[in-house]
Each structure stands twice: as C-alpha cells, then as structure tokens.
Amino acid sequence: MSSFKVCAFDDLQPDSAARFDVEGHRLAVVRLGDNVHIIGDMCSHADYSLAEGELDTDECTLECWKHGSAFSITTGEPQTLPATKPVPVYDARVDNGDVYVTITQGDPS
Ligand code: FES
C-alpha cells in the first residue's frame, strides 16, 4: 500500500472531476466542496472516461457520458443501469495543499 501525489488541490476545479493517471491507474479525481474523492476513471460498462461525465453534487454521483450510468463517488457502485459492476474506490487525502491517493497492490487499474 503506497501513497502517491496526484496533483495540487488548486489544480482541481470546484465541483468537477478530472482524470489523472498514477502508477498505471486511471483515476477520476472529484473535488466536491473542500473534499476530494477518487474512483476508477474507466466506466465498468465500457471503456469510457467517467471524469468526462457530469458530477451530481446532490447525489454525489458521477454520470458516465456515454450511456448514463451514475456511479457513487463514495462507494463506486453504479446507481443506474446499464452498468452493473462497481468501479474501484481509492483512499484520497489532502495534505498541505496537495492531493494524495493510496494505491494498494492488486487494486484493479
Ligand atoms: S460506457 Fe458507461 S454506461 Fe456505458
């Protein structure tokens, strides 16, 4: 289990998502208010970027732009079809203005 710097907190737009690649993992990094959530960027339905989808700040979901499945940014579970499998959730931490992700060996990329 290792912690890696992703970006500066200020690099993230408020209430939006951005894709970062860290140690071979595709991450959708979501800034929601003062908090950061990180889930896998690749939709579990097909290979499309969740970070390019729309963030619902009330439901705390990221909606895949391709077919509309909404994924919880806290559990990674799809809340709506057509996706049925969760995407990975990563531990995110903000320290001294920088965002860090914890990647456990064996985490799906
Ligand atoms: S590719 Fe994401 S819902 Fe189909």
User: How does residue 1 score in pLDDT terms, banded at 50, 70 and 90?
Assistant: confident
Tell me if 41 sits within 8 A of 26, measured CB to CB: yes
* CA-nearest residue, atom 1 of ligand 1: 46
* Confidence check: pLDDT of 104 > 90: no
Give the three-class secondary structure for 11.
helix
Q: Which fold has domain 2-103?
A: Rieske Iron-sulfur Protein (2.102.10)
Query: Ligand 1 pocket by C-beta < 6 Å: which residues?
Result: 43, 45-46, 48, 64, 66-67, 69, 82-83
Q: Which of 23-37, 47-61, 95-109 has the lowest mean pLDDT?
A: 95-109
Domain edges within the chain = 2-103
Give the CA dihedral 27, 86, 53, 83, nearest 10 degrees.
140
pLDDT of residue 51: 98
67 CA to middle of ligand 1, Å? 5
When pLDDT is averaged across residues 63-83 and rounded to a whole number, the result is 98
